Amino acid sequence: MTDASARSQEQSLRRLLNPIVEESGLFLEDVRLDRAGRYTTLRVVVDLPDGPGDLDLDTLGEATRAISDAVDEADPVPGQYTLEVSTPGAERELDTPRHFRRAVGHRAVITRAVGGQEHTVEGMLTAADETSITIGVDDVPQTIALAEVTAAHMVVSV
């Protein structure tokens, strides 16, 4: 299968699964088909729609059953496949304003480009909107424009 046909199949799966995931009260983060020889894995990543909070296992289980039923009924993946439904994870990448809003209240590492140089900070995300984030670094709030962010991810502190 070519990359173009795999992307087309992933887009079809996204169209199929998006309303199912939304009915579960969740957001469809990603759909990916991974093939290794005869084996195919359908990976579906779901998350809460917006804002802070954590996705509980009961809700994830209900969404998994609904996704499995929809894929079984539509049969969009030829042959046998393995279905994996997961969340973005505790140390997820932060790319979109929604990702940053979801990360409010969690620690994050943010790299930003300023004046041609990159600077990295780690701290607690305290606010996020469509254009900026606020991160507390050593209890000092710093507001960073999202346009300056070159890389970001949540971190688990122990």
What pLDDT, in 10s, does the model give residues 13-34? 999 999 999 999 999 999 999 8
The domain total for the chain is 2
Are 116 and 48 found together in one domain? no
Which among 51, 2, 56, 72 is positioned nearest to 24, based on CA atoms? 56
Quick check: is 16 in a domain? yes
Domain span at residue 127?
97-155
Are 73 and 41 found together in one domain? yes
Q: Domain ends where: 86, 110, 138?
A: 86
The confidence band for 54, taking pLDDT boundaries of 50, 70 and 90, is: confident
pTM, two decimal places: 0.83
Question: What percent of the chain shows pLDDT beyond 90?
Answer: 73
Instruction: Read off the pLDDT of residues 89-98 as tens digits, 9 standing for 90 and up.
Output: 889 999 999 9
Helix (H) or strand (E) segment spanning residue 136: strand 132-137
Q: Domain ends where: 41, 56, 86?
A: 86
| Residues whose CB falls within 8 Å of the CB of residue 103, separated by 6 or more in sequence, listed in order | 52, 92, 94, 125, 128, 154
Are 67 and 16 found together in one domain? yes
Report the CATH number that the domain containing residue 101 is assigned in CATH. 2.30.30.520
The confidence band for 7, taking pLDDT boundaries of 50, 70 and 90, is: confident
The reported pLDDT for the residue numbered 4 is: 74
The reported pLDDT for the residue numbered 93 is: 95
Report the CATH number that the domain containing residue 28 is assigned in CATH. 3.30.300.70
- Greater model confidence, 53 or 58: 58
Quick check: is 91 in a domain? no
Quick check: is 69 in a domain? yes
Is the pLDDT at 1 greater than 60, yes or no? no
Question: Which backbone phi and psi does 144 adopt, to 5 degrees?
Answer: -125, 130
Residue 110 burial (C-beta neighbours within 10 Å; 0-12, 13-18, 19+): buried
Are 104 and 142 found together in one domain? yes
Residues 73-80 have a mean pLDDT of: 84
Quick check: is 92 in a domain? no
The reported pLDDT for the residue numbered 2 is: 59
The confidence band for 116, taking pLDDT boundaries of 50, 70 and 90, is: confident
Are 54 and 75 found together in one domain? yes
Length of the chain: 158
Q: Which pairs from 91-96 meet CB under 8 Å and 24+ separation?
A: 91/153, 91/154, 91/155, 91/156, 92/153, 92/154, 93/151, 93/152, 93/153, 94/149, 94/152, 94/153, 94/154, 95/152
Q: Domain ends where: 40, 56, 86?
A: 86
Are 40 and 68 found together in one domain? yes
Are 35 and 78 found together in one domain? yes
